[in-house]
Amino acid sequence: MTELASQPDTAPSVWQSAVTLMTVAAICTALVAMTYYGTRQQIADNEQAWLEQSLKPAISGVPYEGDLTSDPLVISAPNELPGAGDAVVYRVQSGGNVVAALFVVTATDGFVGPIRLLIGLQDDGTLTGVRILEHKETPGIGDLVDQSRSDWVEQFVERSLGSPPVELWAIQRDGGEFDQVTGASITPRAIVKAIRETLVYFEAHRESILTLPSTGEAVTPE
């Protein structure tokens, strides 16, 4: 007590400290808010451009009009598509009709964490392209997911649920038709399975996936 009493003027009161801390916090928040408003538009544009750019490779060979991102459909969870949570389908227009659908799904059984996949389908269920959007596979081992190092995903173009038949939609080690990479079968197995499940889902719900209006809310196709 004597120590406290001996220096009452040098130690600031709790209130003083609280006010200082509050003032600095307010100034810092203002700084963040200013930066946020200054960069918001640019960030939104960047994200839109990035999405558009990452969707494009999955739709090779199909002529389309307008933006790929303009007609999204959110399919609510639970659904039979790979991955938990809502799935997004971007419908691609040409001449007023939906000619293709781009599915963004998640393969949850990869080697390290989830693999986000972009799967492009023509309206008749033929694959127009498969791209890996995001993955954490070990470099060197899961390299087939890396577009710049492997054209492994190219083998799926033009394939569909009849070619090969659904029971052959697996990697060779599991008695299926698709190449795996020696020493790394977990990643390809996960990807092939995700594509198969997407094809089956599309086959079952084709009409509503192609025709449901884009409301922004999650829906459950019939």
Partner 1 sequence: MSDVTPISSRFRRGLWDDNPGLVQLLGLCPLLAVTSNFINGLGLGLATLAVMALSNLLVSATRRWIASEIRIPMYVVIIASLVTCIELVFKAWFPALDRTLGIFIPLIVTNCAILARAEVYASRNGILDSVIDGVVMGSGFAALLCCIGFFRELIGRGTMFARMDMLFGGEPMPGIQLADNGLLLLLLPPGAFLSLAIAVASKKAIDRRRQKSASFRLSI
Residue 35 C-beta: closest distance to partner 1, Å: 4
Kindly tell me which of 55 and 170 has the beta carbon lying closer to partner 1. Answer: 55
Pick the stretch among 24-32, 59-67, 88-96, 203-211 that binds partner 1 (CB under 8 A).
24-32
Among 97-105, 124-132, 137-145, 152-160, the segment contacting partner 1 (CB under 8 A): 137-145
Instruction: From 11-19, 88-96, 185-193, 209-217, give the range in contact with partner 1 by CB under 8 A.
Output: 11-19
112 near partner 1 (CB under 8 A): no
Question: How far apart are alpha carbons 61 and 115 in whole angstroms?
Answer: 25
- Using CB under 8 A, which of 2, 6, 7, 42 touches partner 1? 42
- Which among 10-18, 55-63, 83-91, 153-161 is the span making contact with partner 1, rule CB under 8 A? 10-18
Q: Is residue 166 a contact residue for partner 1 (CB under 8 A)?
A: no
**Total number of residues binding partner 1 (CB under 8 A)?**
23
Task: Select 96 or 139, whichever has its Cβ closest to partner 1.
Answer: 139
C-alpha dist (Å) from residue 33 to 24, 37, 76: 14, 6, 33
Q: Which of 113, 139, 145, 160 binds partner 1 (CB under 8 A)?
A: 139
Which residues would be at the binding site for partner 1 (CB under 8 A)? 11-12, 16-17, 20-21, 24-25, 28-29, 31-32, 35-36, 39, 42-43, 46-47, 50, 138-140
